[in-house]
Amino acid sequence: MEVLELLRRKGHASAETIASELLVTPNAIRQHLTNLERDGFVVSSPEKSRRGRPSLLFSLTERADSVFPKRYGQLATMVLQEVQEMGGPEALDEVFERMATRHAGAISRNLEGLEFDEKLKRVVAWIGRAGTLAEQTETPEGVKVTIHNCPFRNTALKFPQVCTITPHLISQLLGTAVSQADSIHRHDPYCSFVVQRPTDAH
């Protein structure tokens, strides 16, 4: 991590420069850089405008960005707090309903002409792409869609409106009523929603 942090600060550096900064041998650094380059975290290129044997300069790749700390959830919470203070809970409701509508517009073209069951299957699969571990099961009340992993859990615990995106999305795409069955706000282990099956669905 020290090598990556140094390259983040400097932009690029040779093995010799890195070794000097970190007080280790150049050979040890070269071996470490070889492993980092193999794993896709750094890339090397010959140093320009230098006499004699060119030295390799190492710099970070886009993949290396993933190893540095991120505070996306904290930023989202701060933004939502400001929205709520400016416009009240109703403003948050509108924000998440608009988000659901935007996503529904992007998905709806892929559902045209499909029966209810196939539509729901594709919607649940789309929701699952966000790492939600979403699954559907048949119940006497309707089709239950369970979100086993909420990618926005910490933010959702502070702002319940986050949990309205999924039912809004399903309702808009399938044209049917959706109700919440389980909720992390009620200390359930996951959130789930019951989708009412249309009377004419097969």
Supply the CATH number for residue 121's domain: 3.30.1380.20
- Structural domain range at position 89: 72-195
Q: What's the residue count for the chain?
A: 202
Asked, for residue 27, whether it belongs to a domain, the answer is: yes
Asked, for residue 200, whether it belongs to a domain, the answer is: no
pLDDT in tens, 58-99: 999 988 988 887 777 788 889 999 999 999 989 999 999 999
pLDDT in tens, 1-15: 899 999 998 999 999
Domain count, the chain: 2
End-to-end C-alpha distance for the chain, whole angstroms: 56
Asked, for residue 152, whether it belongs to a domain, the answer is: yes
* Residue 61 CB partners (closer than 8 Å, separation 6+): 40, 41, 42, 43
* Residue 142 CB partners (closer than 8 Å, separation 6+): 194, 195, 196, 197
Residue 87, Cβ neighbours under 10 Å: how many? Answer: 13
Full-model pTM: 0.65
Is there a single domain that holds both residue 77 and residue 177? yes
Of 13, 35, 67, which one is at a domain's C-terminal end? 67
Q: Do 132 and 191 form a contact (C-beta atoms < 8 A)?
A: no
